[in-house]
Copies of this chain bind each other. A is one copy, B any other.
Amino acid sequence: MAEDRRTRRTRRALGAALVELVLERGFSALTVEDITEQADVARATFYAHFKGKDDLFARVTADLLEQLAQRLEPAISGSAIGFTGKPLLEMLRHVSDERDAYRVVLRGEGDGKPLQMFVDSCAAATAKEFKARAGRNDVQPRIDADLLARAWVGEQVAVLRWWAEQDTPPMPAEEAVRMLLDLALHGRYWASGFTAPDRH
């Protein structure tokens, strides 16, 4: 078998314990013993699986990203043309399913590297989508591609975090998706009802 049942159990327990405790006290306030105690695992066993707190956190994040990618795959291949928002919707659903883990990551806990992993992953996917679209257009972009990518991902992550931090989300995922696409398409002055000043 690929993996012993015991190792799976302890790894899961440690991951869950980490997420729970970070939400309670914050990552920097935790000791390895706190985590092992919460997970009901011996301290020595912890070091048999992970190099330390940060390593555990990194793996939890990596697992989350992998899970997300799996759930996104059908949504992406299914809506290859146009931007139906299906992937975005699926992403929000994943956030609501794994809310605690997302909160921990998106808060930038730890040394910020888990969040960095997440952002980089989103940026890569975005860049891919951009390139695919660019192939079907030959209008000269008014905005530097790098700047655009950063802005897009930054916005996405900020909204995701806001979404994850709501207790008993007051806004359904569909509505959030509509707003996000609206925002992305037309800009925020129009979207917020503000009048835009003339250009130049």
Residues of A within 8 A of B (CB): 26-28, 54, 82-83, 107-112, 115-116, 130, 133-134, 137, 139-148, 150-159, 161-162, 171, 176, 179-180, 182-197, 199
Contact = CB atoms under 8 A, between A and B. Distances in A.
5 contacts: A139-B194, A141-B193, A148-B192, A151-B183, A151-B188
B143 A188 contact: yes
Contact of A151 (B82, B134, B147, B159): B159
Contacts of A185: 187-190, 196-197, 199
Contacts of A189: 184-185
Contacts of A197: 82-83, 185
Contact of A191 (B148, B183, B190, B192): B148
A71 to B, nearest CB: 23
B184 A137 contact: no
Contact of A159 (B150, B162, B191): B150
Contacts of A192: 130, 141-143, 145, 148
Contacts of A176: 147
A54 B83 contact: no
A108 B159 CA distance: 17
